[in-house]
Amino acid sequence: MKRLTALTVALLIGVTMFAQQALWGTAPVVSPEIHDNNTVTFRFKAPKAVRVQLTGDFLPVQKNAKFEAPGIVDLKEGQEGVWEYTTPEPLKPELYSYSFIVDGLRMNDPANVYLIRDVSTLTNVFIIGGDRADFYKVNPVPHGTVSRIWYDSPALGLERRMTVYTPAGYETSGKRYPVLYLLHGMGGDEEAWISLGRTAQILDNLIAQGKAKPMIVVMPNGNASQEAAPGESSRGMVPPTMQLPKTMEGSYEQAFPEIVKFIDKNYRTIKSKSGRAIAGLSMG
């Protein structure tokens, strides 16, 4: 009787697994697979594809007279239509991005849920740990708080959104903190630094190791015509674009003191020149 019961349970488990596999179409493909020696294998299941390629910022750069672009390599088709490529050399510690190109169409990796948006482009990401790349990870250290804050901008005639990082312990310390105003590049918005730049992870780790003082980091939207990032404003789910009105024509710079005033009013800041810094990328 016990043997029969065990057999019944085994059959039920097998049927359940088969049903799940049938529901999702196939057994999962592992991609990217980071090996112990830091080589990485990428896989893409496409039984009917003619050509599958990989492009990423870890590949040798393509160069021509006009621009530089990430390299492209071909994957090799294996069993059951799974295409595969393994990097010939170990990758150095870093945060990397990549995409597939399937018969000429750029596609994300369906086996990797980790994506970042850069303007209107979504790319998969993965981390090779070690050295400075460990700062990009969520480690067992005290964590700060990330808030999306709305403020009134009379100069621009808009309610606008920005991202603010406060260090671990801010809520209970009663202390005043210096402020770093961190500006994004062209096409970015208030989501750029916190997602692409992994600001919160880096600050958490640097502060925990005593390599940075606890600080408030303010990441505003540098596009004077925008309330907030695409999909986060009253305009709804508009396509992201770099071609925005009032780009780099002075309106944002004139309105910037409103941000400083708002932060000083609503956060425990060091309200002096010595307590403020500003940094940025490209347009920022």
Phi and psi, residue 153, nearest 5°: -120, 90
What pLDDT sits at residue 241? 82
CATH topology of domain 27-134: Immunoglobulin-like (2.60.40)
Chain mean pLDDT for the chain: 90
pLDDT band at 25 (very low <50, low <70, confident <90, very high): low
What pLDDT sits at residue 247? 84
Q: Give the chain as a DSSP string.
A: -HHHHHHHHHHHHHHHHHHHHHHHSSPPPP-SEE-TTS-EEEEEE-TT-S-EEEEETTSPPEE-SS-EE--EEE-EE-GGGEEEEE-SSPPPSEEEEEEEEETTEEE--TT---EEEETTEEEEEEEE-SGGGGGGS--SS---EEEEEEEEETTTTEEEEEEEEE-TTHHHH---B-EEEEE--TT--TTHHHHTS-HHHHHHHHHHTTSS---EEEE----TT-SSSTTSSTT-SPPP-S--TTTTSSHHHHHHHHHHHHHHHHS-B--SGGGEEEEESTT-
Q: Which of 173, 156, 274 is nearest to 226 (CA)?
A: 156
State the chain's maximal CA–CA distance in angstroms. Answer: 82
Domain ranges for the chain: 27-134, 145-280
For tokens 């671990």, the residue is 168
Percent of the chain residues topping a pLDDT of 90: 74
pLDDT band at 32 (very low <50, low <70, confident <90, very high): very high
Q: pLDDT digit string (tens) for 47-90?
A: 999 999 999 999 998 877 566 788 999 999 999 999 999 999 99
Q: pLDDT digit string (tens) for 144-171?
A: 999 999 999 999 999 999 999 999 999 9
Q: Which of 164, 177, 166 is nearest to 259 (CA)?
A: 164
What pLDDT sits at residue 10? 47
One of 3.40.50.1820, 3.40.50.300, 3.40.50.460, 2.30.30.190 is the CATH number of 145-280, namely 3.40.50.1820
